[in-house]
Amino acid sequence: MSDTAQTSEKARIHEGKEADHHPYFRPRDAATLILVDRRGTVPKVLVGKRHDKVVFMPGKFVFPGGRVDKDDHRVPVAAPITAELEANLAKGSPKTPASRAKSLAIAAIREACEETGLCLGRKAEVKAKLEGPWKPFADAGLLPDPSSLFLIARAITPPGRVKRFDTRFFTADASAITHHVEGVIHADAELVELVWVELGSKPLADLHPMTRNVLNELDSRLATGPLRHDAPVPFFHFYGGKMQKDILG
């Protein structure tokens, strides 16, 4: 085989492998919520242990989260997201419109309630018709309240994955939890155990590398005092096969 033919053959094989791995699969918006308890000397974060039989990350400790649903922006809220949070979510390219910013924040609250039974809400003056994953809020006379959320980081799954997510990592203080749904955590659930663990403790050492990056950012912020919206927000993404860390602006 000539050098030219060999080069063409290698290119064809390389293209085939890239196609098989969906290198340009568009990432879907997702949100994660890291709840923090700062009442002790060392801050604690809430993690859930995944069932041993689930396909993705079995037996691992994770933070609640998942992709944005199409109806998240339509859900009535007790209070809007803060202007500062909306501005942080709009940073980067392409710009995130206000309705999408709300969807991201609401998705974080919904996923946390669905997976842990812990709900961030506020008493509603007028009873709203909430169904599906929002029924626990309706039953408790609450509306979701995203006003206490802070954006910690943004990260995009690297190319070459069938499932890719453009994830915004939020945090909120544990005092924002206003309702607890019983029975969500059990032996056959997606999360079989919930644990409040100190930053730097053993369960956090086995987290996904990207989640550890985000947790390190949170740790750094907490070390400087109360959370602020004007702190730099890192953006983790992959370019040329290597992870890059930029600051959203």
Instruction: Give me the domains of the chain, ranges plus CATH numbers.
Output: 3-247 (3.90.79.10)
- Which pLDDT band, with edges at 50, 70 and 90, does 203 fall under? confident
pLDDT digits (tens, 9 = 90+) for 44-53: 999 998 888 8
Phi-psi domain of 135 (left: phi exceeds 0; alpha: psi -120 through 50; beta: other): alpha
Q: What residues contact residue 39 under an 8 Å CB cut-off, 6+ apart?
A: 174
pLDDT digits (tens, 9 = 90+) for 98-144: 999 999 999 999 999 999 999 999 998 777 789 999 999 999 999 99
Q: Contacts by 209-213 with C-beta closer than 8 Å and gap 24+?
A: 210/155, 210/236, 211/62, 211/63, 213/153, 213/155, 213/245
